[in-house]
Amino acid sequence: MERLASKILIANRGEIAIRVMRACHDAGIRSVAVYSDCDKTAYHVRLADEAYHVGPSPSVESYLKQEKIIEIARQADVKAIHPGYGFLAENAEFARLCEKNGIIFIGPKPETIALLGDKLAARQMATKAGLPVVPGAKFDNTDMKIVAEKAAEIGYPVLIKAAAGGGGKGMRIVRSESDLTESLESAIREAGSAFGDGRVYLEKYLEKPRHIEIQILTDSHGNAVYLGERECSIQRRHQKVIEESPSPIVSQELRKRMGEAAVNIARESDYLGAGTVEFLVDQDMNFYFLEVNTRLQVEHPVTEMVTGIDLVREQIRIAEGRPMTISQEEISSRGHAIECRVYAEDPHQDFMPSTGLITEYREPSGPGIRVDSGVVAGSEIPMFYDPIISKLIVWGRDRKEAIERMLRALSEYRISGVHTTVGFGCSVMRSPRFHMGDYATDFIDVEFPERIFECAEADQGEKAAIAAVVYEYMTRQKVQTTFKKRREYRSNWVHYHRREGIKGLSKRR
């Protein structure tokens, strides 16, 4: 059979463009990259078989330029486009444009993307498919009296959410009626400017839920499977930073129930390809439908590590109209996988993006380690896009081994020039709560209220040494400083002593 997708254009950049290219190359498919001005020398361009300039650096002028991408696809004579995640991945209009131009969009049908991209419509669809949804309410106009009544019915705290939402935008927690009007107005404003759609709705705000999601795959031959769950409760600003599979709290019985629920909504929405059904699980282990992401997720590698299935390769097969290679009975999960997203962010400054030049870069490797990265030494982290550097994924025979391996891998990682979340990852891996698997979406606020984390190894030499000296000085001279500063110095002092193997750490100072 002639391959429909003998050449694929990847409408994305960074680590995910490279991830997709690798699947293409494994399958003997040629890859075509696109790049903006600031990505001229990016690693995804170097790895591709062909590369085309798509426009200036801001994404609205490059990676989001639908017509331009189609034009390049025609010029390069590609038959299929993989959108990665972000950018055009969940854009029904783009999927339709591909279709119109006789190009395969590697993802669900445009109608499915449009339907599930609307959180309100997706909630309705989930209810129809028999899934429990978080109690909530929609309203057609923002008559405050009606909204207040609905909020009171649901019971405070409530969460205002944007129908077109994503990335935590347009979301507001409201703890009492007195905050309702202001929160509603600002949520509508934010949703309007982020998505061009100011529709919002209410959901019961669940206290201490866990975010657990199910990976699904469906093909055009009537097959639909679930590939276990991913636990994604370690979040900052309602966005994931560390994920694992399996979840420490999901039993075989719960997995089956959640998996079957996810497959139900896939069937109900005529889903095609890889997707993720997100759930919140409350403290009594009840699960509630949250949304469907109609694309490959950032955290897909943890599922790949435990199931041994290449999800991108399956996506390509399915898009070509071929059946997926696996059946539900053949899917099993072995061992445990954890992913730490490595962002160019400063965890000590509330995870503020840290752009600039990466001056030194060395990835960890060895048994059970996978690094999906988009950079090399000399790469720039531009201000225009999501500041992700890489994803560090480890596999272990059990959760304990995976945690130990993650700590080893994080300690090998050397990234200089920008702040990173590497030290934050170490702090989480050493947290007793994380070890016990006893955590929810408020983990960072509860465990690290002062936002004091370990420093990445690469920073430790210099920074920790200085902090150690300052701390000693402050302690001896009884210098007055803020509690926060003192904690930060002490934390660095501890790491410096650990690093240098200096004894006497237990002494309280």
CA-to-CA distance for 31 and 303, rounded, in angstroms? 24
Among 24, 125, 134, 316, binds ligand ADP (CB under 6 A): 134
Judged by CB under 6 A, does residue 195 bind ligand ADP?
Answer: no
Nearer of residues 183 and 235 to ligand ADP, judged by Cβ: 235
Residues 281-310 that bind ligand ADP (CB under 6 A): 290-291
CA-to-CA distance for 293 and 297, rounded, in angstroms? 8
Catalytic residue from among 199, 230, 255, 295:
295
Calculate the alpha carbon distances from 227 to 98, 308, 323, 464, 469 in Å: 28, 10, 16, 43, 51
Question: Could you identify the residue written with the tokens 């007793």?
Answer: 432
Q: What are the backbone angles phi and psi of residue 340, rounded to the nearest 5°? A: -110, 120
Instruction: Look at residue 225 and give its three-state secondary structure.
Output: strand
Among 59, 183, 215, 235, binds ligand ADP (CB under 6 A): 235
Q: How far is the CB of 143 from ligand ADP (least distance, A)?
A: 23
Q: How far is the CB of 416 from ligand ADP (least distance, A)?
A: 31
Determine the interface stretch with ligand ADP among 121-129, 159-167, 174-182, 222-230 (rule: CB under 6 A). 159-167
Among 56, 58, 167, 353, binds ligand ADP (CB under 6 A): 167
Among 39, 219, 278, 459, binds ligand ADP (CB under 6 A): 278
Residues 331-390 that bind ligand ADP (CB under 6 A): none
Query: What residues have CB less than 8 Å from 230, skipping those under 6 apart?
Result: 212, 213, 215, 243, 244, 245, 247, 297, 299, 302, 303
Nearer of residues 36 and 235 to ligand ADP, judged by Cβ: 235
DSSP H or E segment with residue 43: helix 43-47
Could you confirm whether 199 is annotated as catalytic?
no
CA atoms within 13 A on the CB side of 170: 23
Q: How far is the CB of 167 from ligand ADP (least distance, A)?
A: 5
Among 54, 159, 163, 418, binds ligand ADP (CB under 6 A): 159
Nearer of residues 106 and 163 to ligand ADP, judged by Cβ: 163
Among 130, 155, 168, 356, binds ligand ADP (CB under 6 A): 168
Question: Could you identify the residue written with the tokens 């950079």?
Answer: 375
CA angle 399, 405, 410 (to 5 degrees): 125
Question: Could you identify the residue written with the tokens 């990976």?
Answer: 215
Nearer of residues 157 and 335 to ligand ADP, judged by Cβ: 157
- Total binding residues for ligand ADP by CB under 6 A? 20
CA-to-CA distance for 202 and 147, rounded, in angstroms? 9
Residues 13-32 that bind ligand ADP (CB under 6 A): none
Mind spelling out the 3-state secondary structure of 99-163?
A: HHCCCEECCCCHHHHHHHHCHHHHHHHHHHCCCCECCEECCCCCCHHHHHHHHHHHCCCEEEEEC
CA-to-CA distance for 340 and 424, rounded, in angstroms? 9
Judged by CB under 6 A, does residue 91 bind ligand ADP?
Answer: no
Judged by CB under 6 A, does residue 209 bind ligand ADP?
Answer: yes
Q: How far is the CB of 269 from ligand ADP (least distance, A)?
A: 17
Nearer of residues 7 and 123 to ligand ADP, judged by Cβ: 123
Calculate the alpha carbon distances from 67 to 10, 11, 96, 98 in Å: 15, 12, 12, 10
Per-position x/- string for 430-469, each x denoting binding to ligand ADP as judged by CB under 6 A, each - no binding:
-----------x----------------------------
Judged by CB under 6 A, does residue 166 bind ligand ADP?
Answer: yes
Residues 35-54 that bind ligand ADP (CB under 6 A): none
Question: Could you identify the residue written with the tokens 């934050």?
Answer: 424
Query: What residues have CB less than 8 Å from 50, skipping those under 6 apart?
Result: 30, 31, 32, 33, 76
Determine the interface stretch with ligand ADP among 2-10, 122-130, 205-213, 304-312 (rule: CB under 6 A). 205-213
CA-to-CA distance for 462 and 481, rounded, in angstroms? 22
Residues with catalytic annotation? 295
Residues that bind ligand ADP (CB under 6 A): 134, 159, 165-168, 171, 203-206, 209, 211, 235, 238, 278, 280, 290-291, 441
